[in-house]
Chain A
Amino acid sequence: MPAVSLTVNGKAVTADVDPRTLLVQFLREHLRLTGTHVGCDTSQCGACLVHINGVAVKSCTTLVLQAEGANVLTIEGLAAPDGPLHPMQEAFRENHGLQCGFCTPGMVMSAVDMVRRKGHDLDEHTIRQELDGNLCRCTGYHNIVKAIAAGAKAMKGSSPAA
């Protein structure tokens, strides 16, 4: 089995893997980082969103071998283990930007990526447009959009995600 070496949430990881292993499977089943979810498994819903080298990708449509040498950030790595929540997580909590919570990790990772690409002042139209690849089956978009706008502002001045 081929070996893969990557950094996940700041920790170096090396493993022998079946080449078919998807990044999301590796995160959930090998590393037990179950915050990243599998929703549709067809790269549409965004529940599996993680960052590879700072850029949001769908981990259900990426082989872990494609992440060789990469820096992967999951929802678990967004805030320090014992520290306060990341400003975007805090904004989701504050604005009740979730209903069942299944899509939330992907929503938060998508939102942080949105701030990287579009800046801190996000209007509703931009947020809805850029949230194209994240589905909430509870249709809780109203508060999700509010949370992202607030989180984007709160991220101003805070250090960028690891």
Chain B
Amino acid sequence: MIHLDRRTSMKRLVDGIVRALVVVGALTATGASAQGITLTIATHYTDEQRGPLTGCLREYERLNPGTAIVHRQLSYRDFLQTLFMSRMSGKPPDIYNLSTAWTAQLVESGALAVPPAAVTDFVVGNYLANTSETMTANGHVWGIPAEVDVYMLIYNKILFARAGIAKPPTNADEFVKDAASISKSNRQGQLTTAGFGFGPSPDQVVAPFLTLLNSNGGSLFSPDRKSTNLTSATARDALETEVRLFTTKGTSRGAAPNQFSSGSLGMMIVPNWYQKQLHQELGEHFDETVGVAPIPGGMNWRTVQYGFFWAVDATSQHPAEAWALLKWLNTARTPGGRSCVGDMLLDLGALTGNKDDLAASAADIGNPFMRPFVDALSSGRALPEVSIPHANEIKDLLSNYTERALLGMLSPEQALSEADNGIRLILRESE
């Protein structure tokens, strides 16, 4: 009797659990359909930087009931690492804002979703070719171009005038001479005013060298991207120019672009987004202080262009919705107006390859600061950064050896030869 009671109770308990599970399952399913989908976007932009975009995301949610959009901010330096970890954990974001330098690595690993034909057509028809080329690999355009930045020479007009220099340098010799003329040292031998400043990040160490290399008619990689041109005479000339900046006291390792606004830096080769920072720091003195000039590399000067693009993760559960959102964010909101992404980028002081956004931003990009950057981009003088596997590692290695030459620890030939060896090893891995 007791056993029977126990069996009956157990049966009732199991029945109850099964019914409860069915009810919970049904409720969950109903709830899920009512909740709709959630799209996660990962970018390196801070809350303040993506302000205009956030408003658009909320608007998109209102226009598309059932779609929720979550933003995840990742630091630029840790972006690939975090992206990798989130993919390992099975919870990657749906949408990424990626550096174009990583295209090859991410495409090779199958991390990115192939965009639908409509998105590819949208990119081909609406963006400057040199911005979409950097995210093209294996016959596909892997997303929608986003921020574009171009390096140019920014100089302090006041310091130039004080040094009796009428115009910014146009070639390597003038560059070195002007930097030395502007520099001032204290009695301890420290530069209190530096003619030129660079670094401290690997990007900012390498970029000036690459602009001079490009201006000399060189390029970092061979056309097949299996070796470098670092042992060429053009590369040596470019690095020697930078070394001369050090030996003539035109700069020192401590002179960095963040000192520009304090009036202790004559020149720096930096991207266009410095505009906002300089405006904030210099205020009403911006126009009388800041000048923009071509890279001092002679008549055939060239510069470096780098960028970002929007992509969708290959494992996203909602690729169609993700691409729809991206297309909406990058389409002009009103005829003749700008897109949401365009609003954010122009507010940041960044450039865009979106033709509609460029056309609608005459006032923002037509000012004396931005005009040279836009001209460099549209004239083809800005050469896109090459997308190659292990791009970050290659940049770090080149930065390490460049720095050794600048600080006199290695001769330019030795440094470039060592860098060439190291980079070849990395490139060979990808074969």
The judgment on whether A and B are partners is no
* Chain A positions near chain B (C-beta within 8 angstroms): none
